[in-house]
Amino acid sequence: MSMLHRHFILRITTKLLMPFILMFALYVQFHGDFGPGGGFQAGVIFGAGFILYALIYGIDAAEKVTPPGLIRAVMALGLLLYVGVGYFGMFLGGAFLDYNVLRHDPVHGQHLGITLVELGVGTTVAATMITVFFSFAGRMRRGKRPE
Amino acid sequence: MADFPGLFNYWIVIVLMMTGFYVVIARGNLVKKIVGLNIFQTSVFILYISMGKVDGGTAPIIVEGTVGAGVTYSNPLPHVLILTAIVVGIATTALGLALIVRIKEAYGTIEEDEIFAKDEPE
Amino acid sequence: MIAAHLPVLQIVVPLIAAPICLLLRRGSLAWGLSLAVSLAVLVIAANLLTQVLESGPISYQLGGWAPPWGIEYRIDVLNSFVLLIVAAIGAVVLAYARRSVAQELPESQQSGFYTALLLCLAGLLGVTVTGDAFNLFVFLEISSLSSYVLISMGRDRRALTAAFQYLVMGTIGATFIVIGIGLLYMATGTLNMADLGARLPAAGASRTVLAAFAFLTVGATLKLALFPLHFWLPNAYAYAPSAVTAFLAATATKVSIYILLRFFYTIFGPAFAAADITLQSLLIPLATVAVLVCSTVAIFQNNVKRMLAYSSIAQIGYMMIGIGFGTATGLTAGIVHLFNHALTKGGLFLVLGCVVLRAGSCRLDDLAGLGRRMPLTMFGFVLGGLSLIGVPLTAGFVSKWYLVQAAIEQGNWLVAAAILAGSLLALIYVWRVVEAAYLRPAPENAPEAAEAPWSMLIPAWILIGASVYFGVETSLSVGVASEAARFLLGGAG
């Protein structure tokens, strides 16, 4: 706890930067079908925002924002969204992951399909990054500190 | 031997690959093994990424005015492939480190020879 | 409508069930879902095999993108046969898993366990079904990563080091495969396996192609634990939870052998694989040494799981001998043995799981006198052991018969003798277990061991029974395998 009160500059900067980091992640996410970007990168940036928060404010504070149970559910839901889009295309008469059939017009269908799939990828990657960090950092906190 | 370095990206790949491989084999410290494994995998990433470069090619993004204008693009496919491999690499690293944490808790050490010594008396 | 989508449903049914399993926090719920999924997968696999046998290879275009640009799932005689093996073992092991897992793992880990098992199943099926070389690597890593997790869940702390060792070796093997695929892509500009097979002859035997061949071969042999790249296997099998050992022993190495066959025959083509004389002169000696050395090492093991693990490496040697010959008989023998050994070894490991459940361990000393206390379980072991040795009227005999025939066809008496010697060695290690179970009295302070519960005995006996059944009735196993061998040798089509 003592650390938190000393590093005044770090704490303020983190607080100021957080919205921009998350916003940038969303930009990378949704700009992915026009330029470089996409779910993987966006997810990692999004996760990095929370990891930075956890580093500066401590795991306890971060877990209040992102409860582990919730993150675990989000991780599964992102994957379900991805596979769900695949199934839906199949349901509409195309092949698995066929985006053309999602809308009347193949171009719009492709657009919608890739946006949804990348959203699924982004959420899963972000949740996984946060989980990986928490499960390593949280292990020390639970008193299993190596001697 | 006029163009001795030739395609120098291959030299980088081979040097990195052998460095990583050597670290995996020669080091007894489990974390160092994972680091070596990462270097080893990174060399393959570079192999793929440099493979996609086309001489004089630009980023394969269609901008208005360039369609059909005889623009040469680099091959994006290897990059996409290796993005997947990078993700696999991250998963492997995370899992490896998680196993190391558990090993440290169970054995109290992450040196390979000490671990084997502790398991010896059966 | 569903019939057209079977190739992809084969993978995505377990794939979508895995995250749902993670969301179901209760182990028993997760088990129910996994079992239902594995049965569905088995039905799909059986359907695919009959479809392929009736009307030839099936191609499925993922996302509607035509090959060779898009990812193609391509199912022919060989991989539909492997699919059936993997799916059948998956269903049997999941039916068996509930009691065994409930005893060996804490409740909090169980839903994670089933998630990992489903992912592993999806990965193995994916490797088998895909017609795209890079997709194969991705599925291979899905199955490998989840199998590292599954192995590390063993109760003994050595499970952790075993999983770590497997992780390092497995990653090196997979990375070698990626390098090989990358080099092939450089030489041909395609990733579709059938397309690769069509274009490689034009690319000729350049150094790039030869290097790719070497990398792919070494990578795949690392994954399938061919002697001397087998060091990860004994510990991984010995310390993993019982259900996992049975599942991996019966499927993971088999799928790796399938990968090797795919590389050799679909991508490089029979002409390339046969012309490369160094390959034959390398694979057969290594495989023969594997049979002799690992069977011998198995004799000296005190942990029965470890003994069977070494025996697995020896059996992989038999399969590689068949594949190394590269003739129709040899390939048939290899593929039949792949099938028969999956049944036999899966059954044996399931039986051992029953022993672990009741006797608490599977050390040879703790097996003393179990023949009387667990008669059904130990009789299952005896039958499985007979199949392992290759006694007539068991599955093991059929495949060894074909293997010896293939060796004699080639005039390779040395290998034929080694196969027979391997059987004798198998007789010794199986006898050690039988002797302990039936002839030695139970120690005074032995835990009270009753017969294993039916929910575990029935699945174990299904596999053991199958390994006897396929020793008598060989039309399915040998019929399909010789069909597959003919298909492989008849070109990539």
Q: What is the mean pLDDT of residues C262-281?
A: 74
State CA C421 to chain mean position distance: 24
Residue B40 near residue C175, CB atoms below 8 Å: yes
Q: Is the dihedral of CA A26, A29, A33, A35 positive or negative?
A: positive
Please tell me the distance from the alpha carbon of residue C299 to that of residue C428, in angstroms, as a whole number: 7
Could you tell me if residue A101 is inside a domain? yes
Work out the end-to-end distance of chain B between its first and last CA atoms, rounded to an integer number of angstroms.
59
Amino acid identity of residue C442, one-letter, is: A
Work out the end-to-end distance of chain C between its first and last CA atoms, rounded to an integer number of angstroms.
26
Closest CA to C400 of C329, C324, C306: C329
Grade residue A145 by pLDDT with cuts at 50, 70 and 90. very low
- Map tokens 């939870």 to a residue: C241
> Checking DSSP bridges between strand C58-61 and strand C72-75, what pairing results, if any?
antiparallel
Please list the ranges in chain B whose pLDDT falls under 70: 1-6, 65-69, 120-122
DSSP string, C341-395: HHHHHHHHHHHHHHHHHHHS--BGGGGTTHHHHSHHHHHHHHHHHHHHHT-TTSH
The pair of three-digit structure tokens given for residue A99, joined into one six-digit string: 């985006």
What are the C-alpha distances in Å from C299 to residues A11, C294, C380, C422, C432? 64, 9, 20, 11, 8
The pair of three-digit structure tokens given for residue C421, joined into one six-digit string: 């010697």
Exposure string (b/e) for C291-323, b if CB count within 10 Å is 16 or more? bbbbbbbbbebebbbbbbbbbbbbbbbbbbbbb
What chains are in contact with C, requiring at least 3 Cβ pairs below 8 Å? Answer: A, B
What chains are in contact with A, requiring at least 3 Cβ pairs below 8 Å? Answer: B, C
Q: What is the pLDDT of residue C277?
A: 62
Q: What is the pLDDT of residues C238-255, one digit of tens each?
A: 888 989 999 999 999 999
What are the C-alpha distances in Å from C9 to residues A29, B103, C15, C46, C467? 29, 38, 9, 13, 29
Amino acid identity of residue C381, one-letter, is: F
Residues whose CB falls within 8 Å of the CB of residue C385, separated by 6 or more in sequence, listed in order: C348, C426, C430, C433, C434
**C392: exposed, middle or buried (Cβ count in 10 Å: 0-12, 13-18, 19+):** exposed
What are the C-alpha distances in Å from C3 to residues A90, A138, C45, C51, C77? 12, 48, 12, 10, 18
Residue A136's domain spans which residues?
Answer: 2-141
Question: Does the CB of A142 have a partner CB in chain B at under 8 Å?
Answer: no
Q: What is the pLDDT of residue B80?
A: 85
Question: Does the CB of B23 have a partner CB in chain C at under 8 Å?
Answer: no
Q: How many CB pairs under 8 A join B and C?
A: 67
Q: What is the pLDDT of residue B1?
A: 45
Query: Is C23's CB within 8 Å of A79's CB?
Result: no
Calculate ∠ Cα A102-A106-A111, nearest 5°: 70
Domain parsing of chain B, residue ranges: 29-52+73-122
Question: Which residues 35-64 in chain A show a CB within 8 A of chain B?
Answer: 35-36, 40
Please tell me the distance from the alpha carbon of residue C335 to that of residue C340, in angstroms, as a whole number: 9
Q: What is the pLDDT of residues A34-52, one digit of tens each?
A: 777 788 889 999 999 999 9
DSSP string, B14-77: HHHHHHHHHHHHH--BHHHHHHHHHHHHHHHHHHHHHHT--TT-B-S---TT-TTTT--B---H
The pair of three-digit structure tokens given for residue A131, joined into one six-digit string: 């989980």
ipTM comes to: 0.91
Q: What is the mean pLDDT of residues C460-467?
A: 89
DSSP string, C262-319: IIIIIISHHHHHHH-HHHHHHHHHHHHHHHHHHHHHHHT-SBHHHHHHHHHHHHHHHH
Higher-pLDDT residue of A3 and C41 is C41
Q: Is the dihedral of CA C475, C480, C486, C489 positive or negative?
A: negative
Could you tell me if residue A76 is inside a domain? yes
Of all residues in chain A, the percent with pLDDT exceeding 90 is 20
Could you tell me if residue A48 is inside a domain? yes
Please tell me the distance from the alpha carbon of residue C375 to that of residue C421, in angstroms, as a whole number: 30
- Map tokens 């930075």 to a residue: A52
Q: What is the pLDDT of residues C405-454, one digit of tens each?
A: 888 888 888 888 888 999 999 999 999 888 888 888 877 666 666 777 88
pTM of the full structure: 0.91
- Map tokens 């570079």 to a residue: B46
Higher-pLDDT residue of C50 and C279 is C50
Q: What is the pLDDT of residue C121?
A: 93
Compute the nearest-CA separation of A6 from chain C (Å): 39
**C65: exposed, middle or buried (Cβ count in 10 Å: 0-12, 13-18, 19+):** middle
Please tell me the distance from the alpha carbon of residue C66 to that of residue A146, in angstroms, as a whole number: 54
Which site among B33, B95, B118 would you substitute to test the C interface, given the most C Cβ atoms closer than 10 Å to its Cβ?
B95
Instruction: Name chain B contacts of C172, Cβ cutoff 8 Å.
Output: 21, 24, 37, 40
Q: What is the pLDDT of residues A65-111, one digit of tens each?
A: 888 888 888 888 998 888 888 888 888 777 777 777 777 777 788 88
Q: What is the mean pLDDT of residues C321-347?
A: 88
Q: What is the pLDDT of residue C138?
A: 92
Please tell me the distance from the alpha carbon of residue C332 to that of residue B116, in angstroms, as a whole number: 42
**Above 80 in pLDDT, residue A2?**
no
Q: What is the pLDDT of residue C486?
A: 85
Q: Is the dihedral of CA C119, C121, C124, C126 positive or negative?
A: negative
State CA B24 to chain mean position distance: 13
Pick from A35, A136, A147: which is nearest to B101 by CB? A136
What are the C-alpha distances in Å from A29 to residues A32, A38, A83? 6, 5, 19
Phi-psi map region of C64: left, alpha, beta (phi>0 left; psi -120 to 50 alpha): left
- Which of A4-18, A88-102, C314-328 is predicted with the least confidence, judged by mean pLDDT? A88-102
Pick from B37, B41, B115: which is nearest to C161 by CB? B115
Q: What is the pLDDT of residue B66?
A: 63
Q: What is the CA radius of gyration of chain C?
A: 21
Could you tell me if residue A147 is inside a domain? no
Which site among C6, C12, C73, C152 would you substitute to test the A interface, given the most A Cβ atoms closer than 10 Å to its Cβ?
C12
Q: What is the pLDDT of residue B93?
A: 93
What are the C-alpha distances in Å from C75 to residues A96, C53, C240, C493? 16, 11, 32, 11
Please tell me the distance from the alpha carbon of residue A17 to that of residue A3, in angstroms, as a whole number: 20
Please tell me the distance from the alpha carbon of residue C461 to that of residue C351, in angstroms, as a whole number: 8
Indicate the Cα dihedral angle C428, C430, C434, C436, nearest 10°: 70
Calculate ∠ Cα C185-C190-C191, nearest 5°: 80
Query: Is B96's CB within 8 Å of C182's CB?
Result: no
Q: How many domains in chain A?
A: 1
Q: What is the pLDDT of residue C492?
A: 39
The pair of three-digit structure tokens given for residue C179, joined into one six-digit string: 């390098």
The pair of three-digit structure tokens given for residue B69, joined into one six-digit string: 């204008």
Question: Residue C59: beta bridge partners?
Answer: C74
State CA C3 to chain mean position distance: 27
Question: Does the CB of C138 have a partner CB in chain A at under 8 Å?
Answer: no
**C229: exposed, middle or buried (Cβ count in 10 Å: 0-12, 13-18, 19+):** buried
Secondary structure of residue A101 in the 3-state scheme: coil
Residue C26 near residue C33, CB atoms below 8 Å: no
Exposure string (b/e) for C396-411, b if CB count within 10 Å is 16 or more? bbbbbbbbbebbeebe
Q: What is the mean pLDDT of residues C40-51?
A: 90
Q: What is the pLDDT of residue C92?
A: 92
Q: What is the pLDDT of residues C4-23, one digit of tens each?
A: 788 888 888 898 888 888 88
**Above 50 in pLDDT, residue A7?**
yes
Compute the nearest-CA separation of B44 from chain C (Å): 6
Residue B52 near residue B77, CB atoms below 8 Å: yes
Closest CA to C455 of C103, C179, C153, C185: C103
Grade residue A146 by pLDDT with cuts at 50, 70 and 90. very low
Within C105-132, residue ranges assigned H as helices are 107-129
Residues whose CB falls within 8 Å of the CB of residue C132, separated by 6 or more in sequence, listed in order: C67, C71, C72, C191, C192, C193
Q: What is the pLDDT of residues C112-158, one digit of tens each?
A: 889 999 999 999 999 999 988 899 999 999 999 999 999 998 888 88
Average pLDDT of chain C is 86
Please tell me the distance from the alpha carbon of residue C288 to that of residue A26, in angstroms, as a whole number: 58
Q: What is the CA radius of gyration of chain A?
A: 19
Residue C241 near residue C101, CB atoms below 8 Å: yes
Pick from A36, A40, A146: which is nearest to B104 by CB? A146
Please tell me the distance from the alpha carbon of residue C351 to that of residue C166, in angstroms, as a whole number: 24
